[in-house]
Amino acid sequence: MLDQLGLRASLQDIASRFFISREYVSRRFKQEFGMNISEYMEKVRIDNAKILLSNEKYLIATIAEMAATRMAGISAKFSAS
């Protein structure tokens, strides 16, 4: 679902697409996946950044931009892993 909408999709975008309330989407997503949508989207961005970091083709700054995450956010997540 989120892949079709893109990682920048908001909760409202998802709810509007399926003609349901934001609250319902949020509640059901958390029930199904054990995390809210923004946590999931952050996890996907971090996982994608980790994959890109294994490829020496890109600079870290480029990867941060591609992941739509600031450098500090990526650094904090990797140091916690």
Average pLDDT over residues 4-15: 64
Strands (E), 1-81: none
Residue 51 confidence class, pLDDT cut points 50, 70, 90: confident
Query: What is the residue extent of each domain of the chain?
Result: 2-80
User: E strand or H helix at 61, and its extent?
Assistant: helix 60-66
Residue 41: is its pLDDT beyond 60? yes
Q: Which CATH number fits domain 2-80: 3.40.50.300, 1.10.10.60, 3.90.800.10, 3.30.1330.60?
A: 1.10.10.60
* pTM listed for this prediction: 0.58
Write out pLDDT tens, residues 58-76: 888 887 777 764 444 444 4
The two three-digit tokens of residue 53, written as one number = 């970091």
Tell me, rounded to whole angstroms, the distance of Cα 1 from its chain centroid.
Answer: 13
